[in-house]
């Protein structure tokens, strides 16, 4: 029995509902995800920007009907003490649009920017849909070219490959808002039915094939004709460079629309091909009119990739890295009186660039070794009277349970050359 359990004034230690604590081993996975994202984005010529999680609420209210719903019901919005309405950003696109619009006349185009912000949604926590998650955002501003559309899809493909996915593990499905408009025009859909058609496409996969076909018929669209559609012009124009780049897992899919109102052209989604988890992992598209709300016109194309979805995807395929401590060596001491000597040796090693942790001898030597091993620090040295006197130390490999004698002067080069 723990004596403290009786204390009813005790504060709970859980994080706030729907958000995560990142203990070092979890944080190491985040760092792996983010550094992989950074590496690939920079290889394609993108540079990093950032902004605050706090944005004026009006930024999310200007975009149209569906987004208003998100703004009003699914965001964290509150009034600050200066009577300003503030929102915890639910996505990064409005922020990056705001930043580009602010310096429209100074920035060089085509502009390639990325960021890995945390974003917030006020919704019931469920698998892959927490209240806070991190999301790589990649955006290319200032080009109408289908080559720009092709580039962001190439980047999405390169990211998946860099994470260790085979082409057979995922599929890239592309369509265009142009296609939706063409169909709407050909069937002379009212603005209301046009919207109903788009929402129906967005629900594809969440409803049965039969229901989907029924709904198409209600709108006067033949399911057979719809399924046999050819890619619209802008999609055809980008599929060719993707084929030339030997990207084999990309195809036109007339069902792809993406939820946000602001897309104007190409839209794409990357799907998990796992038979038990055939779902969309991430996606993006072209949004040529979003900067108009700031009085600027700049074409843009980009996508967002979330950390939770990618973690799940990689965990199922056992492609997440195993934890390795950034600390190379732990200095243990037989008694606290030797802590100052261990600190001196640590200072020598650190000056040479070796990440070194010291024990102050508050616990038994055996427990110090256990503490080092639990942190997965690979090496340990006992700093005792004998070792200090002789100048010869035993470097213990904690995983291999082996040890190796070494002169004090040789220690740092040993750890640096590991």
Binder to a copy of itself among 35, 84, 259, 410 (CB under 8 A)? 84
Residue 338 burial (CB count, 10 A): 21
- For residue 155, the minimal CB distance to a copy of itself (Å) is 10
Pick out residues in 98-137 that bind a copy of itself (CB under 8 A): 98-99, 101-103, 108-110, 112-113, 118, 120, 122, 131-132
- For residue 186, the minimal CB distance to a copy of itself (Å) is 30
Q: Is 34 in the site for a copy of itself (CB under 8 A)?
A: no
Binder to a copy of itself among 5, 65, 399, 418 (CB under 8 A)? 5
The CA distance from 128 to 306, in Å, is 9
CA distances 134 to 19, 93, 176, 310, 316, Å, are: 11, 13, 26, 10, 19
The CA distance from 409 to 412, in Å, is 7
Q: Return the range that interacts with a copy of itself (CB under 8 A); candidates 178-186, 213-221, 307-315, 367-375.
A: 367-375
Pick out residues in 170-229 that bind a copy of itself (CB under 8 A): none
- For residue 195, the minimal CB distance to a copy of itself (Å) is 22
- For residue 144, the minimal CB distance to a copy of itself (Å) is 7
- For residue 135, the minimal CB distance to a copy of itself (Å) is 14
Q: Is 289 in the site for a copy of itself (CB under 8 A)?
A: no
Q: Exposed, middle or buried, 196 (CB in 10 Å: 0-12/13-18/19+)?
A: middle
Q: Exposed, middle or buried, 98 (CB in 10 Å: 0-12/13-18/19+)?
A: middle
- For residue 199, the minimal CB distance to a copy of itself (Å) is 25
Are residues 253 and 171 in contact, defined by beta-carbon separation less than 8 angstroms? Answer: no
Pick out residues in 247-286 that bind a copy of itself (CB under 8 A): none
One DSSP character per residue, 317-343 reads: TT-SPPP--S--EEEE-SSGGGHHHHH
What is the signed CA dihedral for 310, 152, 141, 236, rounded to 10 degrees? Answer: -140
Six-digit token pair at 108?
Answer: 């060089």
If the CB atoms of residues 74 and 273 are measured against a copy of itself, the closer one turns out to be 74
Q: Is 325 in the site for a copy of itself (CB under 8 A)?
A: yes
Instruction: State the number of binding residues for a copy of itself (CB under 8 A).
Output: 106
Q: Is 366 in the site for a copy of itself (CB under 8 A)?
A: no
Binder to a copy of itself among 1, 16, 83, 210 (CB under 8 A)? 16
At 254 the three-state DSSP class reads coil
- For residue 116, the minimal CB distance to a copy of itself (Å) is 11
If the CB atoms of residues 355 and 390 are measured against a copy of itself, the closer one turns out to be 355
Six-digit token pair at 27?
Answer: 């944080």
Are residues 331 and 358 in contact, defined by beta-carbon separation less than 8 angstroms? Answer: yes
If the CB atoms of residues 226 and 330 are measured against a copy of itself, the closer one turns out to be 330
Q: Return the range that interacts with a copy of itself (CB under 8 A); candidates 174-182, 314-322, 366-374, 387-395.
A: 366-374
Would strands 111-115 and 47-48 be described as parallel, antiparallel, or unpaired? parallel
Site string for a copy of itself, 130-169 (x = CB under 8 A): -xx---------xxxx-xx-xx--x---x-----------
Matching residue, tokens 């036109």: 252
If the CB atoms of residues 76 and 414 are measured against a copy of itself, the closer one turns out to be 76
If the CB atoms of residues 217 and 363 are measured against a copy of itself, the closer one turns out to be 363
Are residues 40 and 159 in contact, defined by beta-carbon separation less than 8 angstroms? Answer: yes
Would strands 250-252 and 170-176 be described as parallel, antiparallel, or unpaired? parallel
Site string for a copy of itself, 40-79 (x = CB under 8 A): --xxxx-xxxxxxxxxx-xx--x-------------x-x-
One DSSP character per residue, 127-171 reads: TTB-SEEEEEEEEEES---HHHHHHHHHHHHHHHHHTT--GGGEE
Are residues 299 and 316 in contact, defined by beta-carbon separation less than 8 angstroms? Answer: no
Beta partners for 250?
172
Binder to a copy of itself among 241, 312, 316, 317 (CB under 8 A)? 241
If the CB atoms of residues 189 and 242 are measured against a copy of itself, the closer one turns out to be 242
Which region holds residue 272: left if phi is over 0, alpha if psi is between -120 and 50, else beta?
beta
């Amino acid at each position: 029995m723990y004596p403290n359990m009786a204390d009813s004034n005790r504060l709970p230690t859980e994080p706030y509902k729907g958000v995560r604590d990142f203990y070092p081993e979890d944080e190491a996975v985040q760092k792996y995800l983010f550094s992989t994202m950074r590496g690939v984005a920079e290889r394609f010529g993108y540079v990093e920007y950032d902004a605050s999680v706090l944005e004026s609420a009006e930024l999310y209210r200007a975009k149209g009907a569906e987004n208003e719903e998100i703004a009003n019901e699914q965001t964290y919005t509150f009034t600050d003490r200066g009577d300003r309405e503030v929102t915890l950003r639910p996505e990064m696109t409005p922020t990056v649009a705001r930043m580009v619009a602010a310096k429209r006349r100074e920035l060089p185009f085509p502009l390639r920017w990325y960021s890995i912000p945390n974003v917030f949604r006020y919704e019931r926590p469920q698998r892959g849909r927490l209240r806070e998650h991190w999301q790589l955002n990649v955006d290319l501003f200032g080009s109408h070219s289908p080559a720009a559309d092709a580039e962001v899809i190439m980047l999405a493909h390169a990211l998946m490959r860099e994470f260790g996915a085979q082409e057979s593990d995922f599929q890239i499905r592309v369509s265009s808002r142009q296609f939706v408009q063409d169909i709407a025009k050909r069937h002379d859909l009212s603005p209301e039915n046009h919207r109903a058609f788009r929402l129906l496409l967005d629900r594809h996969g969440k409803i049965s094939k039969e229901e989907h076909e029924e709904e198409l018929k209600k709108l006067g669209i033949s399911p057979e004709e719809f399924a046999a559609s050819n890619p619209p012009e802008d999609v055809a124009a980008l599929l060719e460079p993707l084929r030339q780049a030997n990207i084999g897992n990309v195809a036109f899919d007339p069902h792809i629309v993406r939820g946000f109102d602001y897309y104007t052209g190409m839209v794409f989604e990357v799907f998990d091909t796992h038979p038990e988890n055939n779902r969309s992992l991430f996606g993006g598209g072209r949004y040529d009119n979003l900067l108009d709300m700031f009085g600027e016109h700049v074409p843009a194309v980009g996508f967002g990739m979330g950390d939770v979805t990618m973690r799940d995807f990689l965990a199922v395929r056992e492609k997440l890295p195993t934890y390795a401590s950034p600390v190379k060596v732990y200095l243990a001491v037989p008694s606290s009186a030797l802590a100052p000597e261990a600190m001196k040796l640590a200072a020598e090693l650190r000056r040479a660039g070796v990440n070194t942790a010291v024990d102050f001898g508050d616990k038994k030597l055996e427990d110090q070794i256990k503490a080092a091993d639990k942190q997965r620090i690979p090496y340990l040295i006992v700093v005792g009277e004998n070792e200090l006197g002789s100048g010869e130390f035993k470097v213990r490999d904690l995983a291999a349970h082996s040890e190796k004698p070494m002169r004090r002067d040789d220690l740092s080069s040993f750890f640096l050359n590991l």
